[in-house]
A and B are shown apart, each in its own frame.
Chain A
Amino acid sequence: MAESSGRTLGGPAGWISILIPAGLFLWFAQFIPAVAAGEVLLWRFNWVPSLGVSVGMLLDGLSLTFALLITGIGALVTLYSASYLGGHTHYTRFVCYLLAFMAGMLGLVLSDNLLALFVFWEITTISSYLLIGFNADEEKSRRNALQALLVTGTGGLAFLAGIVLIGTAAGTFELSEIEGSLVDHALYLPIFWLVILGAFTKSAQVPFHFWLPNAMAAPTPVSAYLHSATMVKGGVYLLARMNPTLGGSDIWFWTLVIFGGVTAVFASLLAIRQTDIKQVLAYTTLMALGTLVMFIGVGTEAAILGAMTFLLVHSLYKAALFLMIGVVDHGTGTREATVLRGLWRKMPVTMVAAMLAAASMAGLPPLFGFIGKEFLYKASLEGPALFWVTGCAFAASALMFACAGVVAWRPFTGKLAKTPVEAHEGPVAMLAGPLLLAALGLGLGLAPNYAEPLVGPATTAVLGAPYAVDLYLFKEVNVAFILSLLTFAAGLALYAWHVRLRTALAHFKPRFDPGWDGLMGAVAAGSKGLTRTIQTGQLRRYIFVTFASLAVVVGYAIWRGGLALEIPEMQELRAKHWSVLIFIMAGALLTAFTNSRMTAVAALGVVGVGVALIFIMFGAPDVAITQLLVEVLQVVLVAVAMLKLPQLNTERVNRLRAWDLALSIAIGAMITVVLLAVMQAPLDLRLTEFFEATSAPIAFGRNIVNVILVDFRALDTFGEIAVVVIAALGAFALLRGTKGERS
């Protein structure tokens, strides 16, 4: 995968992909002082004014934190990819996908307009699909990519419906203009569930969690970037952003706290179960997302502060660990926890990065992870639902400690084990990212006040009210600190027993993934069955169903309308009218009862000619001419087509005639009633008068029909002739297509 390409850092595509996020990172960094001072920056221009869609950029603490994470980690990941994938045939394509994703993610966190936010939300979904399925040769990649697309895409549709309802309820789609809370609004419940569905699918909460570990089929940089640091946090971002608007209700609290807690503990247990280190990390990501959702649900000031700190902590150490896994995979040829041992001698730099990041993940002092965990504990001990939240946080943290041991301690310590590839250190470009991120975790742990300019404004933005932040490593021995010590003890015990725990848990097989396959299979089978039922391929059945539906719908409308019909005056009909009517009826009867197709077509032509005669008698020569010509052409066309058909099977046809008769009578009766009803309504002649008065003076023509066609309604006519051309070309393609197949 990472064969040397002979080009430095993937060539121009690589340089561009590194410089764009790096430049954006610096650009966003200049706003830190302003945002830290409590400013909210807003730029806006109208995009689709008629739909109320504007593209606005809202830069407050929350979006700035996310923007810096996206561009900062983005720059490191692209640098890493240039080395990791630089020699890949489709490296340029990969870079395009990654930059498209970055643009979508930035738009998502910066959009002020909810509709624009949704568009960017979908861009991240689609580019994530492309990235997960990057190794499109493998069936597993394609399947997992599609799964991620369908799960997050379905949630996205729910979210869109939620956005529309928010727009209705709040009267605006601009986040910065939504005032107050919607909790007491009549539409609150539907909005809540739709938004939750969007957020939970995107951020892989139980029971939608299964797509995220599967998404690890993507190349490692993608896992590091999308599925730990950025995209999966999109749902968390949404919940945090909506907290001032939708938060604070009982249902918000319990839904988020219960689902977040279950996700955190359940995912940690599944993480211990894995032997592939990348899968372990994938499940610990779920744990982090669950924890974030749970604490946003708790919603107290301390909880939001803890969540925002933990968000930063997690992004730093998890991206570092994922990138580290890529280096190990590249250097040894395996990711199996059972195989990897004693790499410290061969990969010392990787080890430093891994140990620092894992220490942050385990929550050891003096790393930033310790502060994150400490503030979460403090919030859970003060907040509501104390036992549940603290219990979940404790269990997840202890399991996280054990996972950190599995991921970073065990592979590097002990005696060197044999690996598929002779273990060797990775290139500089691949080590820079994990090392820098891990070092940041240590630096912010030692000097947490440097994180305050981001965490503080972010907390303020989520709370919707100003909040002064004070991050510190250690102040006093309190309950939270003791809980931390207990976590370490429990974590150590779990690590010591983790092999046995893994074996025990291996018996437990979650049914989510097979369930998904079953669901997809059912959908495919259902649509196949439906298609087979509806699309029989028999023209007469299509026509029968079409006309029967028409008869039922119009018949129902007539019945509901309660029409009182009058019998029209028949005295005005002269002998010539009667003769034409009899002529038409004879044609129709002959069409219905003849046993020869040719006779039927000719008789149908007779009906058409009779109708043309009626047009002539009532003064519409244009229509009459057209009717005659079309009638002639139709007879020619159908007659030509019928030369191909076999002899009419009289016996079979006669069996079906009863149905046809019933349907014909129904349609005939319906049309008669409709015509009678139309004749009773007063005739509105205003249009006719307008055209009569204006046709000659304005359009210089005396034939009103034609003047309407080519002048007054020329655009309509243009559309119609376009349809004629398309129909002809379609028929041409169909006929010629079958011909080529046969010869």
Chain B
Amino acid sequence: MTTTSLIVRAATRILVGLLLVFSFYMLLRGHNEPGGGFIGGLVGATGFILYAIAHGCRAAREALRVEPQSIAMVGLGIALLAGVMAYLFGDAPFTGQWLFLWPDPAAGDKGVPLSNILIFDVGVYLVVLGSVLTLVLTLEEEV
């Protein structure tokens, strides 16, 4: 399902990049603002689907470099590892573990938060991205 429309092709060139950047942005802001891994993954998938519509599924697969179903599996593995990480700190699985970098108590700044929660969300992101692309690309190639 490729389109010959010049407008779509030209717009795709800019839009795909923007969509992917936006999907990361959605993923990272998720903890405090609307967003998160699920939404980010959907936006990312939309980017690749747009690319597939404009340039064909083969091109989209080449741009992905990895099979989408592998992306989904890796995402599932990352999410599991993020959950199991809590064991290392003696907690129940999927308990949040936080690390604050460069805190500045004087200024009331807790520092840059890092946690396994973010890793888990990255896993969710990859699962959604990979699964949706698996479905759409396979279905489109089928037609």
Contact = CB atoms under 8 A, between A and B. Distances in A.
B33 A640 contact: no
A528 to B, nearest CB: 31
Interface stretch (B9-17, B58-66, B125-133): B125-133
A621 B34 contact: yes
Given A699-B96, A714-B83, A625 B39 contact: yes
Interface residues of B, number: 48
Nearest to A701: B31
B143 A640 contact: yes
Interface string A726-739: 01110110011001
A732 B73 CA distance: 13
Contacts of A703: 30-36
A706 B30 contact: yes
A632 B46 contact: yes
Interface residues of A, number: 41
A633 B138 CA distance: 14
Nearest to A639: B1
A739 B142 CA distance: 8
Contact of A721 (B39, B117, B127): B127
A622 B34 contact: yes
A629 B42 contact: yes
B32 to A, nearest CB: 4
B49 interface: yes
B76 interface: yes
Contact of B127 (A630, A632, A724): A724
Interface in A664-715: 699-703, 705-707, 709-711, 714-715
Nearest to A718: B79
Contact of A700 (B72, B83, B115): B115
B44 to A, nearest CB: 10
Interface string B21-44: 000000000111111111100110
B45 interface: yes
The B contact surface, by secondary structure, is helix
B133 to A, nearest CB: 9
Contact of A709 (B36, B72, B131, B132): B36
Contacts of B43: 629
A15 to B, nearest CB: 46
A735 B139 contact: yes
B42 A736 contact: no
A644 B139 CA distance: 10
The winner among A622, A629, A703, A739 for most chain B CB atoms within 10 A is A629
Given A633-B49, A700-B115, A626 B128 contact: no
A45 B76 CA distance: 39
A721 B124 contact: yes
A101 B135 CA distance: 48
A725 B76 CA distance: 8
A414 B118 CA distance: 92
A350 to B, nearest CB: 64
The winner among B34, B120, B123, B136 for most chain A CB atoms within 10 A is B34
A640 B32 contact: no
A136 interface: no
Interface in A607-640: 621-622, 625-626, 629-630, 632-633, 636-637, 640
A721 B75 contact: yes
A62 to B, nearest CB: 48
B138 A709 contact: no
A641 interface: yes
A496 B35 CA distance: 95
Interface in B58-101: 69, 72-73, 75-76, 79-80, 83, 93-94, 96, 98
A711 B46 contact: no
B103 interface: no
A735 B141 CA distance: 10
A722 interface: yes
A117 B32 CA distance: 57
A477 interface: no
Interface of A: 621-622, 625-626, 629-630, 632-633, 636-637, 640-641, 643-644, 699-703, 705-707, 709-711, 714-715, 717-718, 721-722, 724-725, 727-729, 731-732, 735-736, 739
8 contacts: A625-B35, A633-B132, A640-B1, A641-B143, A644-B143, A700-B98, A701-B32, A736-B138
A-B residue pairs, 10 tightest by C-beta: A728-B131, A701-B31, A714-B94, A629-B42, A621-B34, A706-B36, A721-B127, A728-B134, A702-B32, A706-B30
